[in-house]
Amino acid sequence: MAREQTRSSTTATAPLKHCSKMDWATLTTLPSRYSTEALHRDERQQRLNDVATPGYSDNYGGIRVSATGRRFYIDSARIWMLLDARRYPRRSNGDLREVGTALTLLKT
């Protein structure tokens, strides 16, 4: 079974910070899979897989959980993969490694 890569939402917008009820340090270092209930993590992973090939999407969404346990829905968000050629070696096929995601809420 493939091991899931640990991604964090390296950058975030003020509306996402507000909805998540997290401070910037927590929001931008929390492994993103923990912002989703365990029941919805497979759906979240599939959406991330769908973003991996083009590198971004303007139609990202899903149910997330705030630091207080309140559920909120992200709809039509822009998400893109962040790559780092300096800190992480390339994959065996020469591709850059993904080191996180950036998310911008297009609707609030």
When pLDDT is cut at 50, 70 and 90, the band that residue 21 belongs to is: very high
Q: DSSP strand E in 35-94: where?
A: 56-65, 71-83
- Which of 4-8, 66-70, 83-87, 97-101 has the lowest average pLDDT? 4-8
Tell me the domains of the chain and their CATH numbers: 9-104 (3.30.450.20)
Q: What residues have CB less than 8 Å from 31, skipping those under 6 apart?
A: 6, 7, 8
When pLDDT is cut at 50, 70 and 90, the band that residue 71 belongs to is: very high
- Mind listing the pLDDT tens digit for each residue in 25-55? 888 888 878 888 888 889 888 888 888 778 8
- Lookup: tokens for 24: 């910037």
